[in-house]
Every structure is written in structure tokens, then in C-alpha cells.
Amino acid sequence: MGRQRVVKGKQTRGGLKRFTISMQRKLAVLFVMVLLAFIVLGVRLFLINRDNGQAYRMQVLSQQAYENQTIPYKRGRIVDCKGTVLADSQLVYNVIVDSKAILEKDYYLEPTLDALESLGINRERIREYITNHESSQYYIARKNLSYQDRKAYLDKVAEGIAREKQERTPAAKRKYDNIKGIWFESGYARFYPHGDLACTVLGFSGSGNVGTGGLEEYYNDTLNGIAGRRYGYLDEGLNMEQTTIEPTDGNNLVLTLDANIQSIVQKYLSWHNEEYKNMEHPGLGSNNVGCIVMDVNNGDILAMAGTPFYDPNQPYDLAALWGMPKLDEADEVTDGYLSYTDLLVMSDEDKPRYLNALWRNFCISDYYEPGSTAKPFTVAAGLETATVDPDDKFYCGGRLMIDGFEIKCHNTDGDGWLSVGEAVEWSCNVCLMEMAKLIGKENFTQFQNIFNFGLKTGIDLADEARTDQFVSDSSMTDSMLATNSFGQNFDCTMIQLITGFCSLINGGNYYEPHIVKKITSPTGATLKTFEPRVLKKTVSEATSEKIREYTIQVVEGHFGTGFTARPAGYRIGGKTGTAETLPRFNGEYIVSFIGYAPAEDPQIAVYVVVDRPNTDEQDDPLFATELVRSIFAEVLPYKGIYMSEPVTDEEREELEELGLSVTYTGDEPSDKWEFDEYDW
């Protein structure tokens, strides 16, 4: 019972098998084979990583691009004071083409080309790209496809796929199901719903949300937001996890500008360009015509425009350049004007120069000699320094000899003895030169600085010019003092002059001009409000009252140079300006008028500058006064300022043609506004 049992060489005890030497050898051989396999695999992996590692890494990264996407933010809106949207961003899509996916099977190409063609993409050009870039997985075939067009395309494809499945179309013959390698990348495109309205005020924003000119540039960081991101990663269980960081949209701008007043201004500036187009030379009604409408008592800009206009939706459209003056190599204006032929043959080097001139805001970036609109400032300096008394009288003999120069009055026969008010009313150069002599160079220069001539006003728009190099200092000559007194020999910008002028008539308060009222969040919450800022006191209330009195005489006086600026039914004050451009005696002039209303309680100022009207006689202030008259006629009733003066039958007919009502309810009309023709 206790003996061992031997069965054909296999020894067992208790029923268990025992390893023989043969079995041990087989196991050793198997182990060696597995070990060699691992060694070969390791060597192979090493060689792959060494020779093709970069290619595989690029392939992995290209696949990750679909899982690592930037989510665009929406650039903030720009709205006027009444909430009218002037600039906004709309959701659009880039059409992305994946050549690799399209070429995966032969029968994918033609249906995909059909689809791309339906999206407005040139069939042969995209075919050429796909076949020449077989490994490309990201190519922007079209930009800024609208949401509506994308939806229409996707709906059409979805319906087609459903129909093909229902009809059991063979795989190789399916038109819609074989569309491959097309996907849409979302983004936002800037658009301006009112076209050229306030174009130079707004500027424009192109690719990359970078503003160019105007508010778009000045408030670029405010309008821009922060992009979001969506990306995926593999967790420990090799499951794809996705994380999304939502974008932060940009903030909005609420303006002081009123779109209705802006449209009135642009209507009449466009009328000027059409009325005087091609009269003396081929081109627009003038080299430039600009207008600013400002609230006298807080610095709010209600409207601002300069010609020619352009559409910010298409800022590179050369057609808007037609009629503009030609530029020399230094970007200075020449005698020629751009024709359609010039636009067709314009070189790539010249296009940016002319486009920059088109986008330029004439009201804040261009400077010029203001002419007689500077005379109220000279008078104010004399009254403030007590070197000129309101009861003083000055004699005009038609000209003065100063520093060997003969400086003439516009009336070379002389105006005789004039009071201070009459000197302003008649716009007498000689009387103003006599006043400047009493004021003195030091006082005169000091008040030029007080009125902010030569300095930036601080308006919140890009590219405001500074003209300090043109303003004379205490070392000025007698002849420089004389010509400065009536607005020649120094330069200013439109925004400088109207801002200073408002301080002359509002009691001496110099408000910082501004065009943004407040900044709001994407949800509409107010983040910042810009309150009116009085930067300094320019003149006393007594001096301001005298300036109002004198400038009302300019419009109402029998020899007032600005009577053609008075709108029917209203009393206004103001001042004309005529300045001869350089070189002197070239027959070219800049004419202007700055006016305010109502005369008794100034609320709104309108300043129009016409740069070299397209006529043979350019020195007629009518080119400016007729625009101010028309603008006031529509803006004043719109602002709820009603007529205070009787209206003649002729004026009543004029108002009816404009679609305006007579709001005067007082006495019958008189002949108060009937003047003899006066040639100034």
C-alpha cells in the first residue's frame, strides 16, 4: 500500500503530476521567445520615434485642433443718445475645408464641390486647392457667411440626407451624404446698419477686432472682450473630457451724438457737394466741408461730420474717393482732383494714402486759419484785460501799414468810425488790429492759451490734431499780432474753435468736449458715466454778455455779415469767417460760420467750415451760412425749441417745402428781416 507507482516515466504522488526535464526545457524556450518579442517591439518603437516621431506628433496635434477651439467674443455696441444702434457685431461663420476628409474616397469630391459652390465659393479654385493640398485639414474657403445662409445650407443638406436614406440610394451615388470635409467656424463681424452715418466719428473695426479711427480706435480696449476656449482631454480611463471657458463680451458705448441731428447735418453737407459739384473744376462741391453741432452748456457733441463720406461696412471702396483733391508725395493737396480713371489705375502704393485721407476726421484732425470767427476772441481778450472798453470807437481807413506790410480790410475804402460792436458786426479787420495793439502781445498770447488755441481739447476721438507750433508766442512781431487779431497767421481745428466759442457765450465755462455719455456692460448695466467737465473759466459773465450782444448784431445788424444764416422764426447770434489760404493771393479761401440759438438763451451751437468751394469766387460766406440756416431750421424744432419771431410769407413757403411747421404764435410778420443787398 505504501509503495510508489510508476506509470510510463511519470511519477505521481497523491494524484499530482510532476514536471519533467522536457517540460522545463519547453517553458524556457517559450520565455526566451516572449523576451525576444518584447526586445524587438521596443527596438521598433525606438526607431519609429526616432524617424517618424515628429510626423506623428503633428498628426495628433492636427486631430486635437477639433477639440481645442477658441470661442469668439462679441465686440460691444455703439448706440446714440436715443438708443439707435450705430455699430454692432453679428454672428457669422468661416467656411472651413478639410481636403484630407474630402479625398478619403473618390466619390466624396464632386458632391462636396457642389456644396461649396452653393455657398458662393468658386468651384474650380477650391478644386485646385483641394487636389494640390491633399493633407490639409484647415483652409478658410470663405469668410463671414451669415447665420441665415449657414442655416439654409444645413437644412438643405439634412433634408437631402433624409431623402437619400428613404430612397435607399447606393452609397457611391449619394449627393448629400457624401458631402465631407466642410465645417463652420463661428465668429463675429462688425457692421454699421446706417451706412455712412457718422462714419468718421465711428471709424471702423476690421479683422482681429482692431479699431481704425474714431471711437472704434479710441475705445478699442473698452469695446473688445476676452475670447473663451473649448478643449478636450483624455482622463485616466481614456475617456474624452471637455472643458469650456465662456467668452466675455465687450462693453457698449452710449453717445451724446443724436442720429437724427447727425442725419440732418449729413443731408445738407451732401446737398452742398451736389449743388456745387463740377462748377469750377471736376469734383465735389468743395475740398472739404465740415460741421459740428454742440450743446453750449455741457460740451456734448450732438453731431459731427466731414465730407466726403464713406461706408464703414466697405471702408476700402475706392469709389468714395471720387472728386477728392489729388495728393503730392508729402500728402499735401494739389490742384488736381481724382477722376474715375484715376481710381481705376491707382497704384497699390497710393491707395493707403488716399484711403487715410478719406477716413480722416476733418473736424478734429485738419487745421486751418479760422479767419474772422476769431474776432470775438480778440474782443473778449480786450474786455477781460480792460484794454478795450465797450464804449471805445476805432477808425478804419481801409488798410494799415505795419512792419512795412500793408494789411487791408475787406472794405478797402474804409468803414470809418466804428464801435466795438459795429467792428464785429461789419467784420472790420482794421478795427480789430487797433484793438490788438491796445491788448498787447503778452495779453493776446495769454488769452490764446486760455481759449485753448494750439492745444488738444481732449475730445474722446482718435487722431485729434495739436497746433501749438502754429500759435505765436510773446516774441511775435507787430504784423503777426495784427493778423492774428482777425484770424490769420495762426491755425486751429474746428473742435478747438467751437469749444472755445461756446465758453464765450455760456458765461465763460470751458467744457471738455466729449462724445461718449456712458459705458455699459453687455447686459446693459451702467459701468461708467461721463459727467460734463468744466476745465477752466475763460471770461467773466459780463464779457460773455457783451460777446452775445455783438454776435447777435452780426446776424441782425443792418450791415451784419451773417444775416443769411438766420433760420425763419428764430433769433440767433454768430460770426462769419473768411481766410485766404497759402500761398496768399491765390484766390482760394476757407469760409465759415459759427452760430448759436436761441439768441436770448444759447443752447445749441452749429459750426460749418467750407474749404475752397468749387466756384470761381470762393470768398462768399453764403456757402457756410446757408448750411447753418438749413441745419438750424430742422434741429431747433426737433430739440423742442420753438420760434420766437414772426415768419414772412416767403419763409413760410420755404418751411413748407422742407416739411416744417410754423410754431410762432405772436404778432403778424414785419419787415424787420428785409435788408438791402450788401456786398461784403
What pLDDT, in 10s, does the model give residues 497-515? 999 999 999 999 999 999 9
Check if the beta carbon of residue 302 is closer than 8 Å to that of residue 604.
Answer: yes
591-598 mean pLDDT: 98
Mean pLDDT of the region 527-552? 97
What pLDDT does 57 receive?
A: 52
Q: Is residue 543 part of a domain?
A: yes
Position 424 scores a pLDDT of 97
Strands of 129-202 (E only): list them. Answer: 139-146, 182-191
Instruction: Out of 169, 195, 221, pick the residue that ends a domain.
Output: 195
Q: Note the pLDDT of residue 61.
A: 45
Q: According to the model, what pLDDT value does residue 25 have? A: 79
Q: Using one digit for the tens of pLDDT, what is the confidence trace for 98-139?
A: 999 999 999 999 999 999 999 999 999 999 999 999 999 999
Quick one: pLDDT at residue 62? 45
Q: What is the pLDDT of residues 256-298, one digit of tens each?
A: 999 999 999 999 999 999 999 999 989 999 999 999 999 999 9
- Residue 243 domain-assigned? no
Burial class (CB in 10 A: 0-12, 13-18, 19+), 121: middle
Residue 5 has a pLDDT of 45
Pairing of strands 399-402, 405-408: antiparallel
- Answer whether residue 679 shows pLDDT above 50: no
φ, ψ dihedrals at 646, nearest 5°: -65, 160
Task: List, for residues 379-421, the tens digit of each pLDDT value.
Answer: 999 999 999 999 999 999 999 999 988 999 988 899 999 999 9
**Which pLDDT value is given to residue 53?**
59
First vs last C-alpha separation in the chain: 152
Confidence at residue 4, expressed as pLDDT on a 0 to 100 scale: 46
Q: How many domains does the chain have?
A: 2
Question: Can you name the residues that pair with 226 across neighbouring β-strands?
Answer: 248
For residue 15, pLDDT over 80 is answered with no
- For 636-660, what is each residue's pLDDT tens digit? 999 999 999 999 888 898 888 888 8
Give the pLDDT band (50/70/90) at residue 474. low
pTM score, whole prediction: 0.85
**Given a cut of 50, is residue 517 above it in pLDDT?**
yes
Least confident of 9-13, 51-55, 283-287: 9-13
Query: Which grid cell is 101?
Result: 476628409
Distance set, CA 3 to CA 6, 12, 20, 200 (Å)? 10, 11, 21, 116
Question: Among 81-85, 323-327, 610-614, whose mean pLDDT is lowest?
Answer: 323-327
* Helix (H) / strand (E) containing 654: helix 649-657
pLDDT-based confidence at residue 235 (cuts at 50, 70, 90): low
Domain span at 94: 70-195
Region 465-483: mean pLDDT is 80
- Quickly state the pLDDT bin for 238 (edges 50, 70, 90): low
Q: pLDDT tens, 392-402?
A: 999 999 999 99
Q: CATH number, domain at 76?
A: 3.90.1310.10
Q: Quick check: 472 pLDDT over 90?
A: no
Report which residue type is found at 1: M
| Average predicted confidence (pLDDT) for the chain | 89
For position 268, what pLDDT does the model report? 97
Domain contains 652:
yes
pLDDT at 291: 98
Asked if residue 266 is part of any domain, the answer here is no
More confidently predicted of 415 and 466: 415
Instruction: Evaluate whether residue 172 is within a structural domain.
Output: yes
177, 195, 213 - which closes a domain: 195
| Residue after which a domain boundary falls, among 151, 166, 195 | 195
Residue 432 lies in a domain: yes
* DSSP classification of residue 311: -
For the domain that residue 443 is a member of, what is the CATH number? 3.40.710.10
State yes or no: pLDDT of 334 exceeds 90.
Answer: no
**Residues pairing with 445 in the sheet:** none
262 belongs to a structural domain: no
Dist. CA 627–CA 276, nearest whole Å: 13
Is 590 inside a domain boundary?
yes
Task: Kindly give, in sequence order, each residue whose CB lies less than 8 Å from that of residue 338, ignoring residues fewer than 6 positions away.
Answer: 283, 321, 322, 323, 324, 325, 326, 354
Residues 175-215: pLDDT tens digits? 999 999 999 988 899 999 999 999 999 999 987 899 999 99
Reading the block at residue 392, the C-alpha cell is 471805445
**What does the pLDDT read at residue 19?**
65
Predicted confidence at residue 331, as pLDDT, reads 84
Categorize the per-residue pLDDT at 67 as very low, low, confident or very high, splitting at 50, 70 and 90. Answer: low
- Give buried/exposed letters for 487-503 (b at 16+ CB in 10 A, else e): bbbbbbbbbbbbbbbbb
Percentage, residues of the chain above pLDDT 90: 72
Name the nearest CA neighbour of 608 among 229, 307, 277, 399: 307
